Every structure is written in structure tokens, then in C-alpha cells.
Copies of this chain bind each other. A is one copy, B any other.
């Protein structure tokens, strides 16, 4: 699985937030990996061996509840760090990460990453900020699940995806997901998600074309959320 030097020591979260003179150390320690579509990068319950930086492709971060049910917590894209959810007190990944397309990433073992944190206070600070933002987001989601109906949550989901991934020339959101994955991200079932997005389509608020979704009336989606 190892591959050549795909890392340019510039683009990833780690390289962006390190002291210049630390880069050679990264150069020595990094391991580039290629993961095929549908394969797991790590799995919930695995001991945390390290941290991954995503160069290319998309990754879903998800977790199972029981045997059947699952929830998607995050979609990662180029430049993102993956596996930081495992950096809490107990060093076990609380989530799985699965490649949505062919993915190229850089693996940094946990020992070297911890050293990097010690050497680069800016890295630690930036990571702290990332967590702070993610926590804020997660807690907003908690409230949305408690207090908004599914349609509003679907609206929120679409707005978030547009914000995170942007849209192409034709206005379609720049990420391709199955309806089941969208449902698992919105925190509902496939059937209900389908019904809600169909409603939104009939109301001309969104436009669907296969797996592609375009937001036609952003204001109306925002109004649904309140």
C-alpha cells in the first residue's frame, strides 16, 4: 500500500501548521497510502496508531449503533486531518473512516505526532481550535436533532454540504453521496430522507439529478431551520 512521495510538505494540516525546520522530520516519518473506494482507513475500536492527512479523495467518518444502525459524523476532503477524534484520553478510535473514492493519504504515527505537538505549539493551538469548532458544530447538531423536524435537518444538511464542499458551475454541490449516506448524516432513515428531499424538489427548492443535488433557493432552506 505504500507509495512514492505524494506529500509536497505544504498542503496538509500538519505541514501547514508546523515550523519550517520541522518539515524535514515530517519528510522522514510520513508514509503515503492509497486506499481504494469503499475500504476502511481505520475502524471504531481500533487502538489509535496514528493520524492521517488527506491529499486526495473524500472520506466518510462514521460510527455504528447496534449492528444495523449507523451515523455519519463527518465528511473529510483534501487537506483535512483524519483520526483526530481518537486523540482523547482513551486511545481508541471512536469512529470508522471509509474512503468514498480512491483516496491518497499520509500517515503519521502517533508517537511522532505527539512529538510534533510538543515541538510546534502553533500546531497544538490550531488543532485545539479545530476541536473547539467541531464541538460547537456537534452541539448544534444535538439541538437540531432534539428540536427540529427531519425536513429542517435535511435542509441544514444540504446547507452544510454546500458550505463545506462548494458547488460546481451548474450549481450542484461538489460531493456525490448515496441517499442512504445523506440520510445517515442527517440522522434519519433512507425512506424519510427520500420523502423530504422529494418534497424539497417539488417545492423547487432543490434540484436533483441522479446523485447530484443543487440548491435553488438557499433562503427557503434557511427559513426551514428558523
Contact = CB atoms under 8 A, between A and B. Distances in A.
A43 to B, nearest CB: 16
Contacts of A133: 88-89
A177 interface: no
A139 B125 CA distance: 22
A167 B148 CA distance: 35
A159 interface: no
B89 A129 contact: yes
A121 interface: yes
Given A89-B129, A131-B128, A138-B139, A145 B147 contact: no
A198 interface: no
A73 interface: yes
B128 A69 contact: no
A127 B125 CA distance: 9
A124 B120 CA distance: 11
Interface string A144-178: 11111000000000000000000000000000000
A199 interface: no
A139 B118 CA distance: 27
A140 interface: yes
Contact of A147 (B69, B129, B139, B140): B69
Contacts of A125: 117-118, 124
A124, A132, A135, A140 — most chain B CB neighbours (10 Å): A135
A87 interface: yes
Given A121-B121, A226-B66, A132 B71 contact: no
A138 B141 CA distance: 9
A131 B118 CA distance: 17
A167 B168 CA distance: 56
Given A121-B124, A132-B88, A146 B145 contact: yes
A142 B138 contact: yes
